[in-house]
Amino acid sequence: MPARSRILLVEDNEQNMELASFLLEEAGFEVVPAAGVDEARRALAERPPDLILMDMDLGGADGLSLVAELRRQGPRLPILALTAHAMRGDRERFLAGGCDGYIAKPIDTRSFASEVRRHLAPPGGGPG
Ligand code: MN
């Protein structure tokens, strides 16, 4: 059996964390929860995930600053912004800030896991 893809889920809202974890685990992912920037840093240092789901509002801390920090460090991991922001220009701001994609909250429970899967590298890599 192939190893399950590990998702680092950075989310400070307990209910969002519960729902997202449930959906990801149900889809077969391994979820590493982090309730804030410090927890996320510790988790990243411990064991790099295959993908990061990053809430953009972390109770005073800005998710995008952590994304910028990670992009300076490399290696490149897929990072998806998870955010309730739906203002015009936000998507562009997150993508310009180093995110590979954007998932709007409230989460669409039917498409959430497949949207995450779409951004994971295929197993074993491949050309290009
Ligand atoms: Mn939040």
Considering only CA atoms, which of 123, 103, 127 is closest in space to residue 50?
A: 123
| pLDDT value for 91 | 84
| pLDDT value for 128 | 46
Distance, CA 50 to ligand 1 centroid (Å)? 22
Distance, CA 118 to ligand 1 centroid (Å)? 23
Q: Where are the strands (E) in 4-122, listed by range?
A: 6-10, 30-34, 51-55, 57-58, 61-62, 79-83, 101-104
Distance, CA 46 to ligand 1 centroid (Å)? 23
Task: Show the low-confidence residues of the chain (pLDDT under 70).
Answer: 1-2, 85-87, 122-128
End-to-end CA separation in angstroms for the chain = 25
Distance, CA 10 to ligand 1 centroid (Å)? 9
Distance, CA 42 to ligand 1 centroid (Å)? 19
Give the CB-side neighbour count of residue 5, counting CA atoms within 13 A: 24
Handedness of CA 85, 89, 94, 95 (dihedral sign): positive
How far, in Å, CA of 10 to CA of 35, rounded?
A: 6
Distance, CA 13 to ligand 1 centroid (Å)? 5
Considering only CA atoms, which of 90, 66, 80, 67 is closest in space to residue 116?
A: 80
Distance, CA 126 to ligand 1 centroid (Å)? 35
